[in-house]
A and B are shown apart, each in its own frame.
Chain A
């Protein structure tokens, strides 16, 4: 039985656990404020807030309910617009701002924006103009041209920053961003989780050794796009909420990550911000806020899309992955050896990625991505590079590229070539020649083969312009 809090109501449901939260709230709970725009996480009309206990802290993030199975809502607080509406028919400051700036025209996308901006007002990020706009980076509007919505978002920075010394949620209640009932959610979620813990212990449940070919599900951001109908009834083992898979550790040599770490976890990680000075700028290029809140690293790896952004990223770190199965036997292999062919993985069906690790001995890292739309789009070509420099000499290099081969591509020859070289226009040009021999792009909706070849040449060059202000005249 899946149990969670929907707005101010505790709900239990025996519906198929793959049912999307979107269908659940609209068609089973008749909460029609959450709209269906695309069912693939690309429009944000169905954006909801998801509150989750992380230790002592209740943390809210936005998610697109169209890609979220109710099983991933288990033990959480799911908030739709009905859950933030004032009972007296009045407007919250977020709603008022949208009205005052004429940020709503046809209204169909509006609730998604309201939810995203509400989250902006209750989360613990600094209330900068940049963060306000960033909060709505997953919401598409076809009517307004966004300028009015921008004005609404910017006008909220002041309100959102008012803290009165309280914890976020109490400040938000004080500011009338959310209703009073939010004050008790933390306790109510604890109760659900505690009862869950007792059941789990009393039933003496062990992993069934006989299970063959279990299907694993984490954030759902690829599976629910690719096969939404099948996923409703799929018998999946959900990895998304497994605490054992949600960690970022630093050792002397390595960074180790649980496989269900989501992209936002990286953004919020001190370690990552230290190791990757342009982390925000680069991860902003990866999908949108709600998707980054759901999309796990392992999910990106096993999806094996030739243009997976995080795959390109970790290939350039020469990361290793640990694969586990139900018997908890594990093995480790380099990510670059994980890809055998188009959507073919060096993985048994009963194995799942449990851990990711990479050496932190690189001195330089860069990520480049170009698509039709700079943000919230899939790359035409992406590429990442990590370098360990010793003075002017490249001690080692790892270069990856996406969108130019049947799999995410680690550029072996190019990486090898760069070893021991000094950075110069000539080195870059020679490396670019090698790259062209390592790739075989195919034409598709994201560009012709010639374009992808040219684009990778440019983006590889861009790495050096970004990292070394290389003169490429």
Chain B
């Protein structure tokens, strides 16, 4: 089953924000953003811009009718800078003009008078100055301090991991249209239509029921359009409110890159204690998260770092502390993995450190400490583990020892080319860690021609959620997929949606769709039961004998739909889907349903930092092999081979695509993708020419995917586990594989844990005796 959008995608007929036909009189917006990372905003001179060709209006903070605030979690993020600027790229004014070109030209004429204040870009420096978004968070299991005293081996060190630009190929954008009686219709490239609706309501003081947000699809999101899509819709909405005109803003790439936040950079201190058998007895970590200038989603991201600070290992004594540090960078935000990858990078670094010092292979320590069913995570949830199973099945399929032996042999034969291998187990919790967000609704209409329209809160951004939802409806109604249309995500059809995030959209919205379809199906079965009763639709059994007809007062349990036909007690009838649907309509039976799903059994109590926050975990194990050219300091990824826990995949072409894409995105984060701010807080990697994501030649020569064999039940839709985020973390293996290859060339050098492993860092580490 291919993605339902495939055909319109390849023909260029799929509609994205910038393709929405424009209404006459549409104005084009352009932001003037702060050129200074921190300062007092003394004055904004818009006089020249106002006089420029085609300019209709220039908006600043004082023009807002509602509140100048878009912070979703903490109210610390003005829509337009008012008294201070907090990062380079912070919106200060909005120009509206008759053409996009005029808007851009006029924005260049604005001048802001800013008294500079001290600029902090480093998270540790911010923490030292007590510049925190919120008080630190802690996770504790056992007693780490006491346990360290009993450890045979204790190692401590530091790990740094940089951010990552989302680089969705479609930039952010919004198009707002005034509707009658003071309302707004908003097209937005957002993962969170309700978040946009709330933000717009807040800045315009227009109540939410007057604001319609509609999303057809995104040209990629990856978390970058979860909360950070809000600003563009809010700006356009304010502009529409003030001018009564439609307003469009599709950001240029460089605007998008400099004005929006990215994956959070982290710095961390770790301490790991092992017993003589290499069992990890104690682990302590301090995480310094670079939040940027406002909270945005930094706190839940920080929490997920804690949730995944032990990855797929069981450690009986854990003490982890995380600081969300406020800096003068654009507010960092959600990005596939949502803090989890950073937590995992640090524990993997700690294990690599221990292994190197003890002279054992890293995978020996990894293997010995995999979490087992019944073990407790540091946050209190008891594992139902597939960690061992995925490791063992991967080993059986790929033969780790053989791959390692081949690499070792290669390395003895070659002086200036080295191979490195690393294993990367993953364990990722599925559910929003903020329990109330684990709810979704689906609206299903069956029309009298038998076709089915579905609307949910899920946003399609390439991950195939609409395909999966269509499959749910098609399966339950036993209709061909062509009969099902999953419509735009729209706040009038589905209210109070959770963002499409946390890998959970298919689970939540799929289950809601399942419930809605099942409810309608039950009604249709009752109708069919009635229709069969009067004998008009003769029931024929396969052996040619009449199978009788339902008895008076019997239940509809004997009725089922298969391939569009009604079966009675397993025997075919001449009654089909369309006949039943029409009879239902004529009998005034409801052919629509709005269903509500909320994940059961999850909870979390932050006062003790314990609970059962996840519906389930996704497990997997990957082996990553790389080759490093030790003359030039460049590298290739030879393979990523994984055994992945899909539960039971309901769509292997979609799910395998998520694995391949996730792996490559993770590799990019660990290798070539380098977010680079200078000490003035200016983004230097501000375009595709300076920020490099993987191209077709930088992907692994081979990606092998082995579905984990498991019969364990889970809470996913049709047992098909969430797949969006977990595979990204296989990419972390590439960092450690490169590290192994570098070590094979330069044995004296202790390579610092500092991702990404750019060619620069590779070369400097290969020749550390020269480079210092």
Chain A min CB distance to B279 (Å): 36
Q: Are B6 and A455 in contact, with the CB atoms below 8 A?
A: no
Q: Are B685 and A33 in contact, with the CB atoms below 8 A?
A: no
Nearest residue, chain B, Cβ from A112: B169
Q: Are A448 and B219 in contact, with the CB atoms below 8 A?
A: no
Tell me, in angstroms, the Cα distance from A208 to B252 when the chains sit together. 39
Q: Which of A66-81 contact B (CB under 8 A)?
A: 80-81
Chain B 149-191: CB-based contact to A (< 8 A → 1; otherwise 0): 0000000000000000011111100000000000000000000
Tell me, in angstroms, the Cα distance from A98 to B2 when the chains sit together. 11
A161, CB-defined interface residue at 8 Å: no
Q: Are B12 and A377 in contact, with the CB atoms below 8 A?
A: no
Tell me, in angstroms, the Cα distance from A133 to B698 when the chains sit together. 12
Tell me, in angstroms, the Cα distance from A91 to B661 when the chains sit together. 25
A328, CB-defined interface residue at 8 Å: no
B696, CB-defined interface residue at 8 Å: yes
Chain A min CB distance to B744 (Å): 16
Grouping DSSP codes into helix (H, G, I), strand (E, B) and loop, the A interface class, with mixed when no group exceeds half, is loop
Nearest residue, chain B, Cβ from A139: B696
Which one of A146, A446, A465 lies within 8 Å of B699 (CB-CB)?
A: A146
Q: Are A102 and B2 in contact, with the CB atoms below 8 A?
A: yes
Q: Are B10 and A147 in contact, with the CB atoms below 8 A?
A: no
Q: Which of A98, A104, A139, A229 has the most CB of B within 10 A?
A: A104
Q: Are B663 and A448 in contact, with the CB atoms below 8 A?
A: no
B752, CB-defined interface residue at 8 Å: no
Q: Which of B233-259 contact A (CB under 8 A)?
A: 250, 252-253
Q: Are B689 and A444 in contact, with the CB atoms below 8 A?
A: no
Write out the residue numbers on chain B whose beta carbons fall within 8 Å of the beta carbon of A145.
657, 660-665, 694, 699, 703
Q: Are B770 and A108 in contact, with the CB atoms below 8 A?
A: no
Which of A246-254, A338-346, A355-363, A366-374 binds B? A366-374
Write out the residue numbers on chain A whose beta carbons fall within 8 Å of the beta carbon of B307.
none
Q: Are B693 and A102 in contact, with the CB atoms below 8 A?
A: no
Q: Are A102 and B6 in contact, with the CB atoms below 8 A?
A: yes
Q: Which of A144-187 contact B (CB under 8 A)?
A: 144-150
A106, CB-defined interface residue at 8 Å: yes
- Asked, given contacts A145-B662, A380-B760, whether A106 binds B219 with beta carbons under 8 Å apart, the answer is yes
A56, CB-defined interface residue at 8 Å: no
Write out the residue numbers on chain A whose beta carbons fall within 8 Å of the beta carbon of B697.
133, 137, 374-375
Q: Are A454 and B105 in contact, with the CB atoms below 8 A?
A: no
Tell me, in angstroms, the Cα distance from A450 to B699 when the chains sit together. 28
Chain B min CB distance to A389 (Å): 22
Tell me, in angstroms, the Cα distance from A332 to B653 when the chains sit together. 60
Write out the residue numbers on chain B whose beta carbons fall within 8 Å of the beta carbon of A114.
10, 12
B11, CB-defined interface residue at 8 Å: yes
Q: Are A459 and B632 in contact, with the CB atoms below 8 A?
A: yes
Q: Which of A15-70 contact B (CB under 8 A)?
A: 26, 32-40, 42-43, 45
Q: Are B763 and A458 in contact, with the CB atoms below 8 A?
A: yes
B687, CB-defined interface residue at 8 Å: yes
Write out the residue numbers on chain A whose beta carbons fall within 8 Å of the beta carbon of B699.
145-147
Q: Which of B62-105 contact A (CB under 8 A)?
A: 101, 104-105
Chain A min CB distance to B372 (Å): 31
Nearest residue, chain B, Cβ from A457: B770
Which one of A102, A108, A141 lies within 8 Å of B170 (CB-CB)?
A: A108
Write out the residue numbers on chain A whose beta carbons fall within 8 Å of the beta carbon of B763.
451, 454-455, 458
- Asked, given contacts A42-B688, A82-B12, whether A107 binds B5 with beta carbons under 8 Å apart, the answer is yes
B692, CB-defined interface residue at 8 Å: yes
B613, CB-defined interface residue at 8 Å: no
Write out the residue numbers on chain A whose beta carbons fall within 8 Å of the beta carbon of B771.
450-451, 454
Chain B 694-717: CB-based contact to A (< 8 A → 1; otherwise 0): 111111000100000000000000
* Size of interface on B: residues with Cβ below 8 Å to A: 80
B265, CB-defined interface residue at 8 Å: no
Which one of B18, B416, B687 lies within 8 Å of A38 (CB-CB)?
A: B687
Q: Are A141 and B169 in contact, with the CB atoms below 8 A?
A: yes
Write out the residue numbers on chain B whose beta carbons fall within 8 Å of the beta carbon of A377.
692
A316, CB-defined interface residue at 8 Å: no
Q: Which of B170, B693, B770 has the most CB of A within 10 A?
A: B170
Which one of A99, A376, A459 lies within 8 Å of B6 (CB-CB)?
A: A99
Chain B 1-38: CB-based contact to A (< 8 A → 1; otherwise 0): 01101111111111110110000000000000000000
Chain A min CB distance to B402 (Å): 23
Nearest residue, chain A, Cβ from B657: A102
Write out the residue numbers on chain A whose beta carbons fall within 8 Å of the beta carbon of B16.
35, 108
Q: Are A148 and B660 in contact, with the CB atoms below 8 A?
A: yes
Which of B41-49, B134-142, B442-450, B458-466 binds A? B458-466
Q: Are A34 and B10 in contact, with the CB atoms below 8 A?
A: no
B513, CB-defined interface residue at 8 Å: no
B764, CB-defined interface residue at 8 Å: yes
Tell me, in angstroms, the Cα distance from A110 to B2 when the chains sit together. 15
Chain B min CB distance to A62 (Å): 14
Chain A min CB distance to B637 (Å): 11
B674, CB-defined interface residue at 8 Å: yes
Q: Are A445 and B253 in contact, with the CB atoms below 8 A?
A: no
Tell me, in angstroms, the Cα distance from A100 to B2 when the chains sit together. 7
Tell me, in angstroms, the Cα distance from A145 to B9 when the chains sit together. 17
A473, CB-defined interface residue at 8 Å: yes
Chain B min CB distance to A194 (Å): 33
Which one of A38, A95, A229, A462 lies within 8 Å of B11 (CB-CB)?
A: A95
Tell me, in angstroms, the Cα distance from A140 to B698 when the chains sit together. 11
Nearest residue, chain A, Cβ from B772: A450
Q: Which of B10, B13, B672, B760 has the most CB of A within 10 A?
A: B10
B415, CB-defined interface residue at 8 Å: yes
Tell me, in angstroms, the Cα distance from A26 to B12 when the chains sit together. 12
Tell me, in angstroms, the Cα distance from A111 to B8 when the chains sit together. 10
Chain B min CB distance to A142 (Å): 5
Tell me, in angstroms, the Cα distance from A42 to B689 when the chains sit together. 7
Chain A 117-148: CB-based contact to B (< 8 A → 1; otherwise 0): 00000000000000001001101111111111
B654, CB-defined interface residue at 8 Å: yes
Write out the residue numbers on chain B whose beta carbons fall within 8 Å of the beta carbon of A444.
684
B676, CB-defined interface residue at 8 Å: yes
A447, CB-defined interface residue at 8 Å: yes
Q: Are A105 and B463 in contact, with the CB atoms below 8 A?
A: yes
Tell me, in angstroms, the Cα distance from A232 to B672 when the chains sit together. 34
Which one of A36, A148, A380, A447 lies within 8 Å of B18 (CB-CB)?
A: A36
A461, CB-defined interface residue at 8 Å: yes
Write out the residue numbers on chain B whose beta carbons fall within 8 Å of the beta carbon of A324.
none
Q: Are B632 and A33 in contact, with the CB atoms below 8 A?
A: no
A442, CB-defined interface residue at 8 Å: no
Q: Are B253 and A37 in contact, with the CB atoms below 8 A?
A: yes
Chain A min CB distance to B555 (Å): 42
B292, CB-defined interface residue at 8 Å: no
Tell me, in angstroms, the Cα distance from A145 to B759 when the chains sit together. 21
Write out the residue numbers on chain A whose beta carbons fall within 8 Å of the beta carbon of B15.
32
Nearest residue, chain B, Cβ from A113: B10
B117, CB-defined interface residue at 8 Å: no
Q: Are A98 and B10 in contact, with the CB atoms below 8 A?
A: yes
Write out the residue numbers on chain A whose beta carbons fall within 8 Å of the beta carbon of B14.
107
- Asked, given contacts A95-B10, A107-B462, A444-B684, whether A370 binds B654 with beta carbons under 8 Å apart, the answer is no
Q: A107-B219, A371-B759 are in contact. List 10 more A-B contacts (CB 8 A).
A: A104-B3, A106-B462, A107-B5, A107-B10, A142-B169, A143-B661, A375-B695, A444-B684, A458-B633, A462-B632
Report, nearest first, the 5 A-B pairs whose CB atoms are least far apart: A33-B12, A106-B462, A108-B219, A107-B9, A145-B664
Of the A-B pairs whose beta carbons lie under 8 Å apart in the complex, a sample of 17, sorted by A's number, is A37-B253, A43-B169, A43-B688, A80-B12, A85-B11, A94-B10, A99-B2, A100-B2, A106-B168, A108-B170, A143-B220, A145-B665, A372-B759, A374-B698, A375-B698, A445-B676, A454-B763
Residues of A within 8 A of B (CB): 26, 32-40, 42-43, 45, 80-82, 85, 91, 94-95, 98-100, 102, 104-111, 114, 133, 136-137, 139-150, 225, 229, 232, 368, 370-378, 380, 444-448, 450-451, 454-455, 458-459, 461-462, 465, 472-473
